[in-house]
Amino acid sequence: MDKKKLAGEQAATYIEEGMILGLGTGSTVYWTIQKLGELVKQGLKIKGIPTSKATEHLARELGIPILDISEVQEIDLTIDGADEVNPDFALIKGGGGALFREKMVASLSRRLLIVVDDSKVVSTLGKFPLPVEVVPFGWEITSRNIARLGCSPKLRLHTAGPFITDNGNYILDCYFTEIQHPELLNEQLTKIIGVVETGLFVNMAEMIIVGGNDGVSVKSTPMQSEAANE
Ligand SMILES: O=C(CO)[C@H](O)[C@H](O)COP(=O)(O)O
| Cβ of 99 below 6 Å from ligand 1 | yes
Inside any domain, residue 136 = yes
Quote the number of domains for the chain. 1
Inside any domain, residue 224 = no
For residue 2, give the amino acid letter.
D
Inside any domain, residue 227 = no
Nearest atom of ligand 1 to the alpha carbon of 95: 8
Digit-coded pLDDT (tens) for 45-68: 999 999 999 999 999 999 999 999
Inside any domain, residue 197 = yes
Inside any domain, residue 156 = yes
Digit-coded pLDDT (tens) for 160-202: 899 999 999 999 999 999 999 999 999 999 999 999 999 999 9
> Is this model's pTM higher than 0.90 or not?
yes
User: Tens of pLDDT along the chain (230 residues)?
Assistant: 799 999 999 999 999 999 999 999 999 999 999 999 999 999 999 999 999 999 999 999 999 999 999 999 999 999 999 999 999 999 999 999 999 999 999 999 999 999 999 999 999 999 999 999 999 999 999 999 999 999 999 999 999 899 999 999 999 999 999 999 999 999 999 999 999 999 999 999 999 999 999 999 999 986 555 555 55
| Cβ of 8 below 6 Å from ligand 1 | no
Torsions phi, psi for 93 (to 5 deg): -130, 170
CB 21 within 8 A of CB 48: yes
Inside any domain, residue 221 = no
CB 55 within 8 A of CB 110: no
- Given 56, 84, 102, 197, the catalytic residue: 102
Inside any domain, residue 230 = no
Nearest atom of ligand 1 to the alpha carbon of 116: 12
| Cβ of 98 below 6 Å from ligand 1 | yes
CA-nearest residue for atom 3, ligand 1, is 96
- Which of 91, 93, 133 maximizes ligand 1 atoms within 8 Å of its Cβ, making it the mutation to test the pocket? 93
CATH number at residue 71: 3.40.50.1360
Q: Which domain holds residue 11?
A: 1-215
Inside any domain, residue 223 = no
- The arrangement of strands across the sheet holding 195-198 comes to 152-155, 170-175, 130-134, 195-198
Q: How far apart are CA 163 and CA 217, in angstroms?
A: 34
Q: How far apart are CA 31 and CA 15, in angstroms?
A: 13
